[in-house]
Chain A
Amino acid sequence: MAEEETKGEEEKKPKEEFKLSFDYFNETRLGILALIVGVIITIAAYSPSLPALVKGIGVMLVILWGADSVRKTARYGLGTGVPSIGVLAVGFGLVGAMTGMAIGSAVYDMIGPAGILGILIGIGLMAVIGYVSGILANGDKFINMKIPGLERGMMELAVAGTLAIILECSIIGGTWDADTILRQPVLGTVPPVAFVALMFIMAGFGMLQPLNSCLGADERRGRTLLMAIEIGGINCIILGLITVMTLGAVQGASLIVLGAIVWVVFYRAYVKACLEESYEVVGTGMIKTLGG
């Protein structure tokens, strides 16, 4: 009996390799994928006919990238806690998104449809600011934090924050045209920009929370990123609830359904991964132990 149990445990060991690992999408590949897809969806998000569902997928991908960058930079210890770098990302994102939307809309008014590419100027400038902040934080003559890859991480975070805020704005307003976002009332007399505090903290949470809660000696990238996708799902549900009120049930409901599916699937996957990889689980009965 005892032999069988040990045998069973030995056989179980390879199972620790959770099937949803991000081995192929390493940090660089995931970043390139998220950047390309995020930028394409962001440019296309100018059109109100692009379904909120697609924008929701874009937001989730961008948040996943941001969480990966937070993990990359914050695992060496920042001295001020992981949340600071996630909040930095969305703080830069607010400035970058406002500038990007303003430039994009102004160029659109001047030269027509091709002008929506003007939003890339805002994103590009934000990348430069992120990189320079990274140099300031890491440089010998400045703060000298000595974190490997902080420059690249901060640049990625600034871009991810900008893309996330622009996409979230465009979900609620239907488009990221500055006139719509800032002035067109969507809910009573309230323009979409009024929800920016919510977008700020939701995008910020998606980026900072995964590492903040998973951090530790046996933190694993695949498991941490599962939580980033899960928070992306919660983000979609909340944005969907607002979209039902602003743009109507068709756009909002699809987003809520997407968010709910992603949330349930990845929450399950995350808890499963935690249960499998932990040494021992003693349940309190609060969370139903999945599959055992």
Chain B
Amino acid sequence: MEPITLVIILVCIIIGGMFGSLGVHLLPVGGAPAAMSTATGIATGCVMLMTGSAMTGLFTASTVANFWGTNPDVFLVSLSGGVGAMLMMGFTMLIGNLIYIFGAGIVPVSGRVAVDPITKEPQTEYKTPRTDGHGVPNVAFYSGMIGGLVGGFGGALIYVVLVSQGYAGFSVETAVIVALGIFIANAIMAAYNIGGTIEGFHDPKFKERIVTGLTCAFIVSLMCGILVLIAIETGALAAGGMV
């Protein structure tokens, strides 16, 4: 394969991995405290949220990629993956909020900022003392939607570059597996970087840690990308048989 194609594939894998890591940092992750409505966010870990939404993104992306046959449009397929992941995150947060509001009877409120940076709604007055916020407030919802879009875009970018005959030319299954493997590695490094809970881009933690997270994502994606390039060069993974 031509060196320029290999470089494009490597760059796309790195961008996809870094987008995945950025997406994880943007999600409102509440962890175990959120299950008792004592922290803002969805009551599960980063990995579960991001893997779930990225899987949905990959389903959407692979469906959309079928419209083109063998040579899909990279940007549109990646974007459709982003939209799929964004919808999944949106539904998760909406249903989570319904349960929080009508089931647990709490007001969605952010624990990290006094005033919502987007809607300018006051937050501190509605926060129960000794808790760290509840539910998914407006700003966290926006942040989660952006996170889903960015993360899904990243995962689908890796997928489409691997599946397209113009680039790596893997079969659909192989491309999904490799994309998922790289994505999960990045999502988990990002989860370790966050270390528990995060609300979204308005959280002070986000500014503190995003640089470290993206650096780690860069290194991990670079290494996984080199491994994938070696696999591509052997030609054994191509969809059409041994080259």
Residues of A within 8 A of B (CB): 78-81, 83-85, 87-88, 91-96, 98-99, 101-103, 105-107, 109, 122, 125-126, 128-129, 132-133, 136-137, 142-143, 145, 178-179, 182-183, 191, 193-194, 196
Contact = CB atoms under 8 A, between A and B. Distances in A.
Interface stretch (B4-12, B124-132, B137-145, B185-193): B185-193
Given A103-B231, A133-B189, A83 B45 contact: yes
Instruction: Identify which of A107, A137, A143 gathers the most chain B CB atoms within 10 Å of its CB.
Output: A143
A122 B181 CA distance: 15
Contacts of A183: 171, 241
6 contacts: A78-B192, A81-B45, A81-B47, A94-B180, A103-B230, A142-B212
Contacts of A88: 184-185, 188
Given A80-B192, A106-B236, A133 B231 contact: no
A129 B224 contact: yes
Contact of A143 (B180, B212, B231, B236): B212
Interface majority SS on B: helix, strand, loop or mixed?
helix
Contact of B241 (A137, A179, A196): A179
Contacts of B183: 91
Contacts of B219: 132, 136
Nearest to B224: A95
A81 B212 CA distance: 21
A182 B237 contact: yes
4 A-B pairs with least C-beta separation? A91-B184, A94-B181, A106-B234, A178-B236
Contacts of B73: none
A68 to B, nearest CB: 19
A142 B227 contact: no
A168 to B, nearest CB: 13
Interface in B206-239: 212-213, 215-216, 219-220, 223-224, 227-228, 230-231, 234-237
Nearest to A79: B195
A188 B106 CA distance: 52
B45 A84 contact: yes
Contacts of B115: none
B182 to A, nearest CB: 6
Contacts of A193: 171, 173-174, 177
Nearest to A141: B212
A99 B224 CA distance: 10
Contacts of A92: 181, 185
B241 A95 contact: no
A179 B189 contact: no
B87 interface: no
